[in-house]
């Protein structure tokens, strides 16, 4: 599994002019946990969607190269794209309430995902669905299998969502703020599931988040986005030794339990960050 992105840009024409949501982002990744952090409006979610070609017109995606395991995603026709989306690349969004189909039981939705991508029979699909629910550590898979989405708590819904996404056995999972609607302890459990999947299946994971501490402690590598560009790219463990003033400013303005300060440092934005030459 290898995802290659070179000089990717996303533009949206609006009545007041063209908005460049993502501007020339490049990175490559294999079976690892890649974190993309930034504030709202930094283009991180748009980048995640652009990889899956989920930008609706009139928005347009341009790149010198956007390839998944050698397949050019920009040139791919609809059929190829459909086979890749949900099959080899899956996506998990922030709120399971909006991503689960409210009029279908959780089990049916997982089964559907299994069958669409695997041509399996009914019984086999059911068994795989139950196995998926077990894989995301749901204690009573049979109960959740027959449950309706509205009967599940936030954490349970997000696990079910991940189970659906994993049913097809994707090689890459793009998770856009998958845990920010969840309590910290539940968030930790959901992340542990993703962590294991990366370790055991050799899956790649793109974790899009606004939470620097979370990304620093969970991911292998981090891209910091500002104004549609990656201003810094570094191993997650070294995030606290970041050099870019934006990254440093973001880290500094986080309140710290162990060291409460009278005032928090405020991030002073330098207009040059949006335009400067990047290494």
Give the interface with other proteins as residue ranges (CB under 8 A). 39-40, 154, 183-189, 191-192, 195, 210, 212-214, 216-218, 249-250, 253-267
Q: Using CB atoms within 10 A of its CB, is residue 26 exposed (0-12), middle (13-18) or buried (19+)?
A: middle
Kindly state the smallest distance separating residue 263's Cβ from other proteins, in Å. Answer: 5
Q: How far apart are CA 36 and CA 44, in angstroms?
A: 7
Minimum separation from the CB atom of position 193 to other proteins (A): 9
State the minimum distance, in angstroms, from the CB of residue 19 to other proteins. Answer: 16
| DSSP letter string, 74-112 | TT--HHHHHHHBTTTEEEE-S-HHHHS-TTS-HHHHHHH
Helix (H) or strand (E) holding 19: strand 17-29
What's the rounded Cα separation, in Å, for the pair 237 and 216?
Answer: 6
In the bound state with other proteins, the residue whose beta carbon lies nearer, of 75 and 266, is 266
Q: Which is nearer to other proteins, 174 or 216 (CB)?
A: 216
Confirm if 3 and 68 have CB atoms less than 8 A apart: yes
CB of 57 to other proteins, least distance (A): 19
- For other proteins, the closer of residues 123 and 262 by Cβ is 262
Nearer to other proteins, 75 or 184 (CB): 184
CB of 9 to other proteins, least distance (A): 23
Shortest distance in whole angstroms from residue 37 CB to other proteins? 10
Q: Which two tokens stand for residue 4?
A: 């290659």
Whose Cβ is closer to other proteins: residue 84's or residue 197's? Answer: 197
- In Å, how far are 18, 93, 213, 236 from 28, measured between CA atoms? 27, 22, 23, 16
Q: Are 210 and 217 in contact (CB under 8 A)?
A: no
3-state secondary structure of 63: coil
Residue 156 Cβ vs other proteins, minimum distance, rounded to whole Å: 12
Using alpha carbons, select from 154, 201, 144 the residue that is nearest to residue 173: 201
Closer residue to other proteins in complex, CB, 110/215: 215
Cβ proximity to other proteins: between 107 and 178 the closer is: 178
* CB within 8 Å of 176: residues ≥ 6 apart: 45, 48, 49, 91, 92, 93, 94, 208
**Are β-strands 33-37 and 221-226 bridged in parallel, bridged antiparallel, or unpaired?**
parallel
């Amino acid at each position: 599994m290898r995802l290659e992105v070179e000089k990717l840009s996303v533009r949206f024409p609006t009545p007041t002019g063209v908005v460049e949501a993502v501007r020339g982002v490049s990175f490559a990744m294999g079976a690892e946990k890649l974190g993309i952090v930034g504030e709202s409006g930094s283009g991180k979610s748009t980048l995640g969607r652009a990889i899956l070609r989920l930008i609706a017109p009139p928005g347009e995606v341009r790149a010198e190269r956007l390839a998944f395991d050698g397949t050019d995603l920009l040139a791919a026709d609809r059929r190829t794209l459909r086979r890749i989306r949900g099959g080899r690349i899956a996506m998990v969004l922030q709120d399971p309430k909006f991503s689960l189909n409210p009029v279908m039981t959780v089990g049916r939705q997982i089964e559907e995902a299994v069958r669409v991508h695997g041509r399996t029979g009914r019984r086999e699909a059911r068994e795989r669905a139950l196995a998926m629910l077990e894989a995301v550590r749901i204690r009573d898979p049979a109960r959740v299998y027959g449950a309706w989405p509205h009967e599940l708590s936030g954490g349970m819904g997000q696990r079910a969502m991940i189970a659906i996404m994993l049913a097809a056995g994707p090689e890459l999972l793009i998770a856009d703020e998958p845990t920010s609607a969840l309590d910290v302890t539940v968030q930790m459990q959901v992340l542990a599931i993703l962590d294991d999947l990366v370790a055991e299946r050799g899956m790649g994971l793109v974790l899009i988040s606004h939470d620097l501490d979370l990304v620093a402690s969970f991911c292998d590598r981090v891209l910091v986005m500002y104004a549609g560009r990656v201003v810094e790219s570094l191993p997650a463990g070294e995030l606290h030794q970041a050099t870019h003033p934006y990254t440093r400013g973001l880290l500094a303005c986080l309140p710290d339990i162990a060291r409460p300060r009278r005032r928090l440092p405020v991030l002073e934005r330098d207009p040059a960050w949006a335009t400067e030459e990047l290494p």
